Amino acid sequence: LFLADKTCLLRYGSPIFSDYYRALPYGAVPQRTLDRLNRLSTGPKGSDIERLGKSLRLEKVKGHPYPVLMAKVRPDLGALSELELKIIEEVVEKYGRMDFDALYDLVHPAAWHKAWDARPPKREAVPMFLEDFFEGDPEAKEGSLEHMIENFEIRRALSDR
């Protein structure tokens, strides 16, 4: 998810999944998604977790320290645009067969280091900021950061908060 979100963000100024990221020891993690998966495996259940449980199951796989997600049903891709699907396919093609060691630097970008290095002692998860993903990343397209900031300002101006 992180690599697809980051790719879309750096190219077009908008992530695919609208999650917020935290720096954890094993890399950048979409926090709301992690929270839901943790609730799926440990409870308590709610309507969103029950829906998730109808689509996914967690399996212990030999050689994996954590459960592996397995689909129970074909995904409903209707919520994703053609562009988002293309990016996901590209990311799976490019990175899908890499092991953790090969992916390590990719899931620990400069934005991860910035958040991780500034964390309070003994904190195992700290917020990451989307604008930090653009700093020094050669994949960032000109204007995409400005597009992200402009969209944020528009949403904030139109929100009830």
Q: How far apart are CA 117 and CA 155, in angstroms?
A: 31
Amino acid at 139: E
> H or E stretch including 57?
strand 56-59
DSSP β-ladder status, 27-30 and 21-24: antiparallel
pLDDT reported for residue 43: 66
Mean pLDDT of the 77-99 span? 95
Start-to-end Cα distance in the chain: 29
Q: Is 68 exposed, middle or buried (0-12, 13-18, 19+ CB in 10 A)?
A: exposed
Closest CA to 34 of 52, 10, 9: 52
Mean pLDDT taken over the chain: 90
- Over the stretch 29-69, which tens digit does the pLDDT of each residue have? 999 998 888 888 776 667 778 888 888 888 888 888 878 88
Q: Is the pLDDT of residue 160 over 80?
A: no
Instruction: Give the orientation angle of helix 2-12 with respect to helix 82-95, to 10 degrees.
Output: 130
